[in-house]
Amino acid sequence: MTESALKYVASPVLLLARNTFFHHFLVFFIIFLQIFEKCCTFAENLVSVVMDTSKYPCLGALIGDTVGSIYEFDNIKSVDFQPLFDKRAEYTDDSIMTIAVADWLAHTGRTRDELEDRLVYWAEHFPCPMGGYGGGFRTWLFSPERLCDFKGNRYKDGRRHPYNSYGNGSAMRASACGWVAHSLEEALDLGKRSAEITHNHPEGIKGAQATATAIFMARQGESKDAIRTYIEQTFGYDLQHTCDEIRPTYDWEASCQGTVPPALIAFFDSHDFEESIRLAVSLGGDSDTLACITGGIAQAYYKEIPDEIINEMKMRLPKEFWEVMEDLAQ
């Protein structure tokens, strides 16, 4: 545009600008645009801020447990629940026992007796979590003299014996095994040992091993297809479904074989960490345990978690949990 043409266009604007009312309007409009731009930039940064969570192994499992806690007995068959963290949401026994296993792996010689000691220690320090402890596990923790063998006869030695459980409690506490393992074989071994002290049924052991190996493979950068194939071939789980296919008929399920496959599928269907948690919760059923298992795997796979989610957890978890996770990362 020539200089003369520019003057021709600009002159009316300059004349109008001399008008006091228009001048004030123009100033306020420019200020509004600047504020609006800054707000948009802030919002974009807030969404994009993520934290490398390698300092806090197992945090994804604790997030899933906390988010899912209020839906365990009040299922919501949708991914669109708002907010992500309901004000009533709290960590449950899933988180406490996840930390207990992490403590065992981080601070002991990893013997059976030391695992028993850590499970009991953390339960005694947090005896009444939201939702409580499962019936069989509560007996094992606090009333071992009432434990019975597979024939229904009470043990006479007063010791804690495994009770042939295939409940999902073995899988929900196993994430730390996948975080510390240096090989698939070690992930399988640690998963088995973390489970069989209570859940010595083959399905109970499989659930813990599947969770541990999925996390190990995710940490190593394996693809979702590779993880799916390994889990299907090793444990016989059917993972050829989607959350949309499962959701309409999925009901409350406390077994490993009824919980671990859908938790894995929620991870496979997701595109980021938060979506994995929402998908797991949306299935219904034992929502906190589903999301606990899914969250542990998703953290290992996606590597990063939005900062605002971590900040929520910092307001909800005891400092002892953070200390154990930090020690496990060493």
Q: What are the CA-CA distances from residue 290 to residues 28, 162, 189, 281 (Å)? A: 52, 23, 23, 7
73 Cβ contact list (under 8 Å, min separation 6): 131
Average predicted confidence (pLDDT) for the chain: 89
The pLDDT tens digits for 70-122 are: 999 999 999 999 999 999 999 999 999 999 999 999 999 999 999 999 999 99
298 and 208 in a single domain? The answer is yes
Confidence check: pLDDT of 4 > 50? no
Q: Return the structure tokens found at 243.
A: 């959350």
Q: CATH number, domain at 184?
A: 1.10.4080.10
39 and 137 in a single domain? The answer is no
92 and 33 in a single domain? The answer is no
Confidence check: pLDDT of 280 > 50? yes
How many residues are there in the chain? 330
169 and 311 in a single domain? The answer is yes
Q: How would you classify residue 111: left for phi > 0, otherwise alpha for psi between -120 and 50, otherwise beta?
A: beta
Where is pLDDT greater, at 11 or 238?
Answer: 238
Q: Which domain holds residue 7?
A: 3-44
102 and 39 in a single domain? The answer is no
28 and 71 in a single domain? The answer is no
Distance CA 54, CA 48 (A): 18
227 and 85 in a single domain? The answer is yes
Distance CA 176, CA 179 (A): 5
Provide the domain count of the chain.
2
3-state secondary structure at position 207 = helix
Question: Could you give the dihedral angle defined by the CA atoms of residues 196, 198, 200 and 204, in that order, rounded to the nearest 10 degrees?
Answer: -90
40 and 60 in a single domain? The answer is no
26 and 113 in a single domain? The answer is no
Measured in whole angstroms, how far is the alpha carbon of residue 180 from the centre of its chain?
17
Question: Could you give the dihedral angle defined by the CA atoms of residues 244, 245, 249 and 255, in that order, rounded to the nearest 10 degrees?
Answer: -100
Q: In this predicted structure, what is the pLDDT of residue 158?
A: 86
36 and 57 in a single domain? The answer is no
The pLDDT tens digits for 181-239 are: 999 999 999 999 999 999 999 999 999 999 999 999 999 999 999 999 999 999 999 99
DSSP string, 146-205: G-B-TTSPBPSS---------BTHHHHT-HHHHHH-SSHHHHHHHHHHHHHTT--SHHHH
150 and 71 in a single domain? The answer is yes
